Chains A and B, each alone.
Chain A
């Protein structure tokens, strides 16, 4: 039952191929059917594989399917081989499951786009690349998927490339990711050097066998994590993600919220032995995660663009996942990844449906009171917001609580405090979003108002399904206070994830922690209620009193400007300088000189080619005489 799991990435690949070749000529109905069906089929196979996996004994994990050898160069070898274990099964389920719903949603959302087939080709290609990333059994193939999703992300952010800002955002994402990837690939090289193989099983046995010292582990782990900060939009490489919202909204939901950006978390969990070995690297992960979590949350406070708020929220939530990984609670990090995939894609899709209703309006200052116009979008959006804020008993509550409890238990009080502070901010900005969009005064222009309507069923059905999962998805990983063995998710991942030093908290402490995190969430919501419903003048007076802070937050700490001033502009200036002074004069001169002198020698040599048999024989004979003379003497 499990030996067909290699079909999971294969089906979207086939679909991509067909769409890429014939897409222009196929009818839209067929394209939508094929694209959705391919992902759905992968989803079904993922479910079958999961069932099969549960029936297989832990000793035989991971199941590896080697399709064929890809590169053999000396002792280095990389195969096209996939593996199935709890970690990749969870990821495959998230990618195909959420991916399928977003494909369906896209059918409605993109219905009138002129590049319909191109869109679905990219989307299927993305699914394929993401599945390669999560199912490969070696780092080299994983890197192929890693680059593949980066490429798709670039293509889809710049999907409406006629729009200048979209094309620029695509470029920005691509370049920023390259920086991370450079570190990532160096990390891979170090793995290949020290382990001699890219297979995860080999890496793990090398680590547990002591073949890798702590110093090397730190080096590799930090390099890989730099790659992860690029892909998963963490400090300092997060800057591309807010701009990535230029892409179509379903793309933001799938790639820039649910799946691709969490690849870094997956990678760290996959390499958990490495990060367990290197305490320093794990500490870096935890601190970067915590700082990002709160830093991004503060930026979300002042944004007026509905998608940008969600983008900063994504950055912040991924920060939480990294906190989980950094404090050794990989299962909790993965759990948050899994619940986050549901509620964040729900929020994005709901935001997309708001945009759809308002003819593409993104500015919350021009919304308000939409509650009664969008009777379906509103509750689903609300469910998503409650889930992310950490209100019991929705999914986000369980996963965020698991992370924060583990952070506290491992003695990282600073990280925990940042996490709690972030939770207040999260609840605040999410409900600010809700109140500004769905409550209060209606600030739409009259003609926009005329067109407000609920989207078609292709868009609403995925919303409802995602809302359902946002509520219940958390129940497979209940914290210990509700009973000893209810954390089914954690147990499931145990074969892959090394049990860290299990810090034991008393039940009383656990309860206390839960109460604190619920309390801060409620406080955040309450503040938002006061600020935006009860006394809307407060925010304005705050802005008036602390203009500096507001400006700083509103302009996102001027990080883009700082990067521009310190890295981008000097690079452009410098490269222009080099182009003018060095390239045009020195290099071109050298190249042209080499070319003309090579050509000159060629001319001389071709004089010998006289076309006469006797000259040819003479040169042959001379060559032979020299050859034999050398042998003689």
Chain B
């Protein structure tokens, strides 16, 4: 249905972002919490409109922007992501010298980019959304202006990101040349009819996948990930590890699912390449993670490995399990980062494994929730991480991707080692020095408990969410 309602959520977020930028410029307050509250209010309003649009299939701009159930579901989990990130940022930005109002503004702008990406079927619009997201992300990564690591993260992210964008744009250009369209549906139609320009279109699609491979951080396009994650402000790292990754998978789902399903012969090459990438990603991500001692780098490599598992879901063409995995992943990863952020005080973050010795007894809540998130990341029942992996792997087995599943299981066995090592440090090592932290951080504890709830709810009673997800993915059929 053509309706202005399709545009409203996006407008709200963009308006909120601009609003905050102006407020920040005129009200020069030292405490920026009020900006966070304003953002949250706008998020809630936006969420309200999203929920209202469920099952309505609004679209606008001749169908170039639409809110089908899949876009709505993704938009909603991005709202939740941003909400959680704002909550963990509030204390952090004043403690760690990122105390600037643009922070929230840029975060909302990045969110608007993600909303654009999931609610369009046109490659050009998706590209524009991606750039809105990326350019805000580059600035967010460098917001700790006094910290050299932060600037380094920003420049690495920026240059390599532009480099990948160039591949993406060139891919779109080739697809356009082969099909004279940038609309996903008509491109797929074109593939199906099997024109002579098939090779150009195939390379175009390949370059498109490479461009997005950078965003979702799969091997060998992942090299930026650990450095950027380490250098960026930690809440922003939490955001990077879930937001751009989830949105990248959402777009890949929209493009690759119909492609792999409908185009039989020429899709074999892409399919095989994706299998290889998936294996490389799982193996390399987990192996390097074994060697890390910095928590942010461990989680960075873990997020690379998770991209590999998620790729299996794309290959198994089980959309519901992919979306479920992403949902669980958001909660467990943000939860883990929240626990990492909790260990900090004025101008000091505790990020080394050594710092975590004995934390489990000194700060039982942080230790316990962090352990749950780590167990979930490792895939232990009864957490959501277990069910997510279980669904993905069983879908892959149904599609006869048994070798991929075996490698996936072995890779997650390796991952158990470094996740458990953190728990071992927290509970079984004697601390050799004092780690005192600023415990007065209600927003962060709220996030810890929300994520704990999310991980356990999805692990023990996933029924309702699965029903929603099943409704959402019907948009693809």
Are chains A and B touching in the complex at the 8 Å CB cutoff?
yes
> Which listed residue (B206, B220, B290) contacts A628, Cβ 8 A?
B206
Count how many chain B residues have C-beta atoms less than 8 Å from C-beta atoms of the other chain: 45
Q: Quick one: which of A72, A609, A628 contacts B223, CB cutoff 8 A?
A: A609
Q: Which of A37-45, A333-341, A383-391, A600-608 contacts B (4 or more CB under 8 A)?
A: A600-608
Give the CA-CA distance A602 to B394 in the complex, in Å: 28
Q: Please state if B221 and A631 are interface contacts (CB–CB under 8 Å).
A: no
Segment with Cβ contacts to B, from A57-65, A93-101, A302-310, A611-619: A611-619
Interface string of B158-193 (1 = CB under 8 A from A): 011001100100000000000000000000000000
Instruction: Report the minimal beta-carbon distance from A595 to chain B, rounded to whole angstroms.
Output: 7
Q: Does A546 interact with chain B (Cβ within 8 Å)?
A: no
**Any chain A CB within 8 A of the CB of B224?**
yes
| Set of chain B residues within 8 Å of A617, measured between Cβ atoms | 159-160, 163
Chain B residues with CB under 8 A of A510: none
Q: How many Å lie between the Cα of A238 and that of B269 in the bound state?
A: 62
Q: Does A548 contact B (CB under 8 A)?
A: no
B467 touches A620 (CB 8 A): no
Q: B460 to chain A: which residues have CB within 8 Å?
A: 70
B414 at the binding interface (Cβ < 8 Å): yes
Q: Is B24 an interface residue (CB 8 A)?
A: no
Looking at the complex, which one of A73, A609, A615 makes contact with B394 (CB distance below 8 Å)? A73
Task: Please state if B463 and A79 are interface contacts (CB–CB under 8 Å).
Answer: yes
Closest to A633 in B: B269
Interface range for A = 20 to 34
Q: Which residue of A lies closest to B224 (CB)?
A: A616
Is A627 in contact with B463, judged by CB distance below 8 angstroms? no
Would you give the shortest CB distance from A609 to chain B, in whole angstroms?
7
Output the least CB separation between A164 and chain B (Å): 28
Contacts of B209 in A (CB 8 A): 627
Residues of A within 8 A of B219 (CB): 623
Docked-complex contact A631 and B160, CB < 8 angstroms:
no
How far, in angstroms, from A609 to B285 measured CA to CA in the complex? 12
Alpha-carbon separation in the docked complex, A613 to B164 (Å)? 13
Report if B226 contacts A (CB, 8 A): yes
Query: In whole angstroms, how far apart are the Cα atoms of A605 and B207 in the complex?
Result: 25
Residues 384-413 (chain B) with a chain A CB within 8 angstroms: 390-391, 394, 398
- Interface assignment of B461: CB less than 8 Å from any CB of chain A: yes
Residues of A within 8 A of B210 (CB): 623-624, 627
B288 is an interface residue with CB less than 8 A from chain A: yes
CB pair B164 A620 closer than 8 Å: yes
Q: Known interface pairs A74-B394, A609-B223, A632-B203. Does A598 touch B464 (Cβ–Cβ under 8 Å)?
A: no
Q: Is A69 interfacial (CB 8 A cutoff)?
A: yes
Q: Is the interface of A mostly helix, strand, loop or mixed?
A: helix
Produce 1/0 per residue, B291-324, CB < 8 A to A. Answer: 1000000000000000000000000000000000
Picked from B164, B206, B288, B290, the residue with its CB within 8 Å of the CB of A609 is B288
Chain A's closest residue to B160 (CB) is A616
B224 touches A70 (CB 8 A): no
Which residues of chain B are near A613, meaning CB under 8 Å? 155-156, 159-160
A567 within 8 A of B: no
Which residue of the partner chain B has the closest CB to A624? B210
- Decide: B203 and A609 in contact? CB cutoff 8 A: no
A468 to B461, CA, bound (A): 44
Return the chain B residue nearest A617 by Cβ: B163
A359 lies within 8 A of chain B by Cβ: no
Closest CB of chain B to A251's CB: distance in Å? 27
Q: Is B19 an interface residue (CB 8 A)?
A: no
Contact A620 to B221, CB < 8 A, known contacts A68-B461, A68-B463: yes
**B-side contacts of A624, CB under 8 Å:** 167, 207, 210, 221
B462 surroundings in chain A (CB, below 8 A) = 71-72
B284 located at the interface, meaning its Cβ lies under 8 Å from any Cβ of chain A in the complex: yes
A632 CB contact (under 8 Å) in B199, B223, B391, B394: B199
1/0 per residue A585-604: CB within 8 Å of B?
00000000001001101110
Q: How far is the CB of A584 from chain B (nearest CB, A)?
A: 20
Q: How far is the CB of B325 from chain A (nearest CB, A)?
A: 14
Closest A residue by C-beta to B320: A72
Verify B291–A623 contact, CB threshold 8 A.
no
Contact B288–A602 (Cβ < 8 Å): yes
Q: In whole Å, how far is A287's beta carbon from the nearest beta carbon of chain B?
A: 39
Which residue of A is nearest B159, CB measured?
Answer: A613
Chain A residues whose CB sits within 8 angstroms of the CB of B272 once the complex forms: 630
**B455-472 at interface with A (beta carbon < 8 Å):** 460-464, 466-467
A279 within 8 A of B: no
Interface membership of B42, Cβ < 8 A: no
Q: Does A622 contact B (CB under 8 A)?
A: yes
Residue B202 at the chain A interface, CB threshold 8 Å: yes
Chain A residues within 8 Å of B463, by CB: 68-72, 79-80
Q: How far is the CA of A615 from the CA of B463 in the complex (A)?
A: 46
- Output the nearest chain A residue to B270 by Cβ-Cβ distance: A631
Sample of 13 A–B contacts (CB below 8 Å) = A73-B390, A74-B394, A74-B398, A598-B417, A613-B156, A613-B159, A615-B223, A616-B224, A620-B223, A623-B220, A627-B209, A627-B273, A632-B199
Known: A69-B461, A619-B223. 14 other contacts (CB 8 A): A69-B467, A599-B290, A601-B287, A602-B290, A602-B291, A605-B288, A616-B156, A619-B220, A620-B163, A623-B210, A627-B209, A631-B199, A631-B202, A632-B199
Q: Top 4 A-B pairs ranked by shortest CB distance? A: A69-B463, A623-B220, A616-B223, A602-B287
State the A residues within 8 Å of B (CB). Answer: 68-74, 79-80, 595, 598-599, 601-603, 605-606, 608-609, 611, 613, 615-617, 619-620, 622-624, 627-628, 630-632
